[in-house]
Structure 1
Amino acid sequence: MEISAVIPVYNEKDNIIPMAERIEAAFKKGFKEYEIIFINDGSTDGSYELLNKLREENKNVKVYHFTKNNGQSAAIDTGFQKSQGSLVLMMDGDLQTDPEDVYKLLEHIPEYDVVNGRRATREDGFKRKLASKIGNGFRNFVTGDNIQDTGCPLKLFKKEVVKSYKLFNGMHRFLPTLAKYMGYKVIEVPVRHYDRLHGESKYKVFGRGFKAFKDVFAVRWMKNRMLNWKIEE
C-alpha cells in the first residue's frame, strides 16, 4: 500500500462524500494503491449510515466506528494503527484543507519524516485565529519547538513515525513536536485553507485553549523523561 488517508469525523454527514471524492481524485493522480480511512467518533447525524454505504460502494474506503465519542486523539491514533500505507496523510473531515496539497508535502519526502502543513491564509474567524497564534507561541515557548502551525490538520508522515506514536488524550495537537522528540526530521510547508462549507466547527476557543494549556506541560514532561540512548559501535 503506497498511501493511507486518515480522516476522523464527528457529525460531518454533508462533508463525507465530497471528502472521499476529492481525496480519491487527488490520489489517483500519483498513486496506484491507496486507502481512505474514516474513523467515526460517535457521530449522531447520520454519518454512521452514510459511511457504511460508502464503504460498500468503494473498495478503497475503510471505516471504523467508535461506540461513543472518544475525542480526536483517539480517532487519529486508531487511524494510524489501522493504516497500511508507506505514507500516511492526515486530514480533518471538514474540507478546509485541499487533498491536492499532498503533492506539496510529498516533495519533502524522503528527506523529512513528517511534513506539517502551514495554513498560508487562514479562512477562520478572528477569535479562532488569535487563539491559534497565542497557543502556538505559548506552546513553542514551553516545548522549545519552532512549529508555526501545529494545528493545521494536513500532515504527511512516513509509516514508521505513525507506528511509533504512543498517544494520550490531547496529544493530536503536538504530533510534529512529538516526532521531533523521537528523533524524526520535521518540516513545515504552506498549504491552502478554505472556509467550512457544511456543518459546524467543533472548535471551542476557551474550552480547547484550557485543555491545550494543560497538555503542553504534559508534553514538556514527556520530553524531559524520554529515553535517549545509543549503543557503542
Structure 2
Amino acid sequence: MINHEDVQAALSARLDGELSALDDEVVDAHLAACAECSRFWERSLVLSKQLSKVDGQRDMVPPDLSDVIMAEVRDPFLKMEQRRALTLAIGRVALGVMAVAWALWAVKLVATGGEPDPVLASFAAVRFGVALALGLCAWRPQQVAGVLLIVGTMFTFTAGFAVRDAVLQTGEFQPALVFIPLLTSVALVWTWVADRGGELRRAWAHLNADPK
C-alpha cells in the first residue's frame, strides 16, 4: 500500500531531478486521487519556482557602478576646474594689459620730461620694473603675492598723496597715479584668488569644520 510519505518523497525527488523508488505512473495516479498530496505538490512547485528566482538573482553579476560613481565625482570637479581656468585666464590677460600700461606710462614720463632728470628717470625705472613684474605674473601666477605687496604699497602712497593734495589744494590731481595702481591691484588680487582659490576654500572648510 502506497502511503503519503512515499509519494511526497517521490515528488520531492522529481523536483530535484533525482530517481525515486516509485514509478512516475504510480505517483501520478496517486496524485490525481489524493487531495493532500496534490496540495503538497502545488506548494512544492511554488516553492521551487521561488527558489529558482532567488538562485538566478544570486548568480547575476552586479552592474559595474564605478563609471556612474566616478561621473558623479568627476563632473562637479571638472566644472569647478573649468571655472578656475577661465577666471585665471581673465586675470592673466588683465595682468598683461596692465604690464603694457605701466611700460607706456614709463615711456610717457621719459618722453615728456624734457631735460634729463634723475628723479624722473628713477620713476620711469620703477614703472618699467613693475611692468616686467606684471609680465612675469601673467606668465607665472604663482609670483602674484610678492608683486601684490609692492603694487599695493605704491597704491596706498599715491592715493594718500592724492587725497592730501586734494584736501590742501597743493597740487594738481593726476588720475593715473591712483587708477593705474588701483586697477593693477585689482588684477593681481583677481589672479591670486583664481590661482589659489581651491586652497582658500579648503582652508576655510577646515576652519569651519565641526570637531564633533
**So what's the TM-score if we normalise by structure 2?**
0.24
Larger radius of gyration: 2
Q: Which of the two has greater helix per residue?
A: 2
Q: Which of the two has greater strand per residue?
A: 1
| Structure with higher RCO (Cα < 8 A, 6+ apart) | 1
